[in-house]
Amino acid sequence: MRMVHAGVVPTERALGYSLAGLAVVVAVTVPTVLLFGLGRVFTGAVLGAVLAVAALVALFKRDAVVLTEQAIHRRTPWSVTDIEWDRVVAGRFGLDERSRWSLALDLTAGAEPHSELVLLSIPPVSGPVSGAYDLRKREQINEVRDILRHKKIPVTVLPDIAAALEQHWQIAPPTR
């Protein structure tokens, strides 16, 4: 079985990453202007923006949940936490606080108190796959569904979500 990449970057961390990207732009632009003069503001800003984009891509790529045969690895840019599969009680596909569809795992107490691990958060599906984003989310749902079935993790799915996934994306609900 292969690795499945999932995970949702929390808003607070995404804001921190954005501020780090802005800091990179400033950290490159200011020295460029100081060294080469006011005529190089645009050059410094473009170079800073390119480096900021590279930094943001690295930060967001590193921030993920990776499901493997052995364990679930919750990664941030500065740490990795391993969660054993036997800590997973169940999964649920429902609505989150922002009215998005969220696929989350319920975990038993371990190092941290009883918690949930959000694997996917997508806008409600209301039509067929219409672009790369929809296609990737459809693939992720199938990959997560397959590994949860393989691990025999029960998944509860709201009926409206199950019906929309089956009707619009032609995938069976992510249950075992």
Could you give the CA distance from residue 32 to residue 42 in angstroms, rounded to a whole number?
Answer: 10
Share of the chain above pLDDT 70, in %: 94
CATH entry, 64-169, from 3.30.2310, 2.40.128, 2.30.29, 1.10.730: 2.30.29
Mean pLDDT of all residues in 110-114: 59
Integer Cα distance of 93 and 169 in angstroms: 16
Angle ∠(159,94,102) on CA atoms, nearest 5: 135
* Structure confidence at residue 116 as a pLDDT band (50, 70, 90): confident
Q: Are 90 and 114 in contact (CB under 8 A)?
A: no
The answer to whether 100 and 122 are in contact (CB under 8 A) is yes
Per-residue pLDDT tens over the stretch 62-72: 999 999 999 99
Sheet holding 71-76, edge to edge: 4-6, 64-67, 71-76, 79-84
Rounded CA separation 6/3 (Å):
10
Residue 58 has pLDDT above 70, yes or no: yes
pLDDT for 113: 57
CA nearest neighbour of 96 among 2, 11, 5, 15: 11
Location of each CATH 2.30.29 domain in the chain: 64-169
> Is the pLDDT at 2 greater than 80, yes or no?
no
Nearest to 40 by CA among 31, 52, 51: 31
Q: What is the pLDDT of residues 4-25, one digit of tens each?
A: 889 889 889 999 999 999 999 9
For residue 173, pLDDT beyond 70? no
Could you tell me the pTM of the whole model?
A: 0.80
Structure tokens at 101: 């569809």
Token look-up 């998005």 returns 100
Biggest alpha carbon distance in the chain? Answer: 64
pLDDT tier for residue 175 given thresholds of 50, 70 and 90:
very low
Report the pLDDT value the prediction gives residue 138, as an integer from 0 to 100: 92
